[in-house]
Amino acid sequence: MAITLSLTLPGLGHMHLRRPVLGIVEMLIGAGLLIAGLSDLVATFLNAAEGTVPLAPVFRVLMRWAPILIGYCLLSGAFTWLVSRHDCVARGEPPSSR
């Protein structure tokens, strides 16, 4: 469940595992990446709308930021999996108990 939450919105998986500090840090990093990508996209789109640049750079911005955001979500899911696995091993519980 934590991995699915983390893949959906980075940080939620750690919140589910009762690790709020890690969750907030991941959410802030994700929000920063999202804001940077959207601001880059909006600035490029406004330049294209004014006619100063063709529309093609808008698609280049999308192609640059989409893999970054998707990759961040996948890394967040992998990190959540590692943390949850470590918690189970550290407490001596079987990994399937979560």
pLDDT digits (tens, 9 = 90+) for 30-84: 889 889 888 888 888 888 777 766 767 778 888 888 888 888 888 888 888 888 7
Residues 6+ apart with CB under 8 A from 4: 13
Number of domains within the chain: 1
User: What domain range is 82 assigned to?
Assistant: 2-97
Among 71, 84, 82, 88, smallest CA distance to 1 is for 84
pLDDT over 60 at 96, yes or no: no
Amino acid (1-letter code) at residue 80: T
Supply the pTM of this predicted model.
Answer: 0.68
Exposure b/e, 34-68, CB count within 10 A at least 16 = b = eeebeeebeebeeebeeeeeeeeebeebeeebeee
